[in-house]
Amino acid sequence: MDSETYTLFFEQLKRYVTDRLVPAEEEVIQNNAIPDAILREMKELGLFGLAVPEEYGGAGMNTMQYIQVMAELSWAAPAYRTIISIGNGIVTSAIANNGTEAQKQEWLPKIASGAVASFAITEPDSGSDSAALRTKAERKGNGYVLNGSKRYITNAPFADVVLVMARTNAENLPKNGHISAFLVATDTKGVTIGSPDKKMGQEGGQIADVYLENVEVPGSALLGEVEGQGFLAAMQSLNGGRLSVASAALGMARRALDSGIRYALDRKAFGQPIANFQLMQAKFADSQADIYAAECMLKDACERLDHGEDVRLKAACVKLFISEMCGRVVDRVVQIYGGAGYLREYEAERFFRDSRIFRIYEGTSEIMQLVIAQQLLREYGHNVPRS
């Protein structure tokens, strides 16, 4: 998107987040869903197609623009980002980079106009270990039959299309060549979405199991119409996904610190605002330093990715640091609130619950540590297996 158009869009988004999305947070939390009216508005604003190429009806934002938008959107409740992030992220990336032209023509305009997307790789017995993936796709005529189950699938209760990772080979092949990707509409016979899981936080952003029982899809549902490319397509999108999660954590940390400062200015003890106390000021300072460091890291990684650099190492560093940083900031904010921070009627308690997942999805902090360490060892010429 050209800079002038982007600037106008971003200013409009900031007003929309402040004036519309934040006031509706309580309704989102109470109903565990974004109101239909707001969903329509988000579609009209083009939020579902931010990263979709312009030729397929999207805004065509680069990484830096998209991540800035995600961070700004994440000032409000996480559900608003969640509903659009999978389509804008891994699904659009996988289709744009690995799909056939027919698949691009079919799915990208739908996503840009508001179709909700999910990505399904995790299973009851397969998370970080892709070799344990059990969902199978067996050839039948010119198509495939899918059988298996997927767990913790974001947006599944709302999804129109799911990018499903399935085995097309019984053996574990090098570089996960046994895994293929399939674009499966959720209204396909044999697709069942489980009940939404009850989570610690992030109400309104729903996850659920996806069950595939003798689901017949045509050969054109196979991403790129090439077997064995599913895991590669997912990994190519992983850097952007990690930066997106980092942007969400950054947005939440900014909101939490703002909330903590406002509370400290209003709350009085010993005849003065608690914001005057140096130990409170230390929490403000440490949090702002954390946030500034996060902003610099995220900006650097996004710019490098936009310039075509391999940012696998840097994206892992960014995701590790910012997700952990967000946890530190919201913990300080709860402490600033004191006893009130433990009560549901104050937003600090919600920030604490909502932030915890950032250290788990799109690669846990422990997996990020392994990715970083192993990449460093390779740079020193040490041969280590890739995580």
Domains of the chain listed by start with CATH number? 3-115 (1.10.540.10), 118-228 (2.40.110.10), 232-379 (1.20.140.10)
**For residue 176, what are the CA distances in angstroms to 16, 132, 232?**
43, 11, 8
Question: Is 362 a known active-site residue?
Answer: yes
| Token couple for 222 | 């196979």
For the entire predicted model, the pTM comes to 0.93
Query: For residue range 95-111, what is the model confidence (pLDDT) as tens digits?
Result: 999 999 999 999 999 99
103 by Cβ neighbours in 10 Å (0-12 / 13-18 / 19+) ranks as buried
Tens-digit pLDDT profile for residues 295-316: 999 999 999 999 999 999 999 9
The dihedral over CA atoms of 307, 308, 311, 315, expressed in degrees to the nearest 10, equals 60
Residues 156/118, Cβ–Cβ less than 8 Å: yes
216: how many CB neighbours lie within 10 A of its CB?
Answer: 14
Q: How far apart are CA 265 and CA 282, in angstroms?
A: 14
Burial 152-170 (b: 16+ CB within 10 A, else e): bbbbbbbbbbbbbbbbbee
Query: What does the pLDDT read at residue 132?
Result: 81
Given the residues 225, 362, 366, 379, the one annotated as active site: 362
Q: Are 274 and 267 a contacting pair, CB within 8 Å?
A: yes
Q: Which of 175, 2, 190, 205 is nearest to 84 (CA)?
A: 205
Confirm if 120 and 192 have CB atoms less than 8 A apart.
Answer: no
pLDDT digits (tens, 9 = 90+) for 66-83: 999 999 999 999 999 999
Give the start-end residues of each E strand in the chain: 117-120, 136-140, 143-154, 161-167, 179-185, 191-193, 207-218, 268-269, 272-273
Run means of pLDDT, 10 residues per run, the chain, 387 residues: 93 97 97 96 96 96 96 97 94 94 97 96 79 91 96 95 93 84 97 96 96 97 93 84 96 98 97 97 98 98 95 96 98 98 96 97 93 92 72
The DSSP-derived string for 122-157 is -BTTBSS-GGG---EEEEETTEEEEEEEEEEEETGG
| Contacts for 122 with CB less than 8 Å, ≥ 6 apart | 150, 151, 152, 153
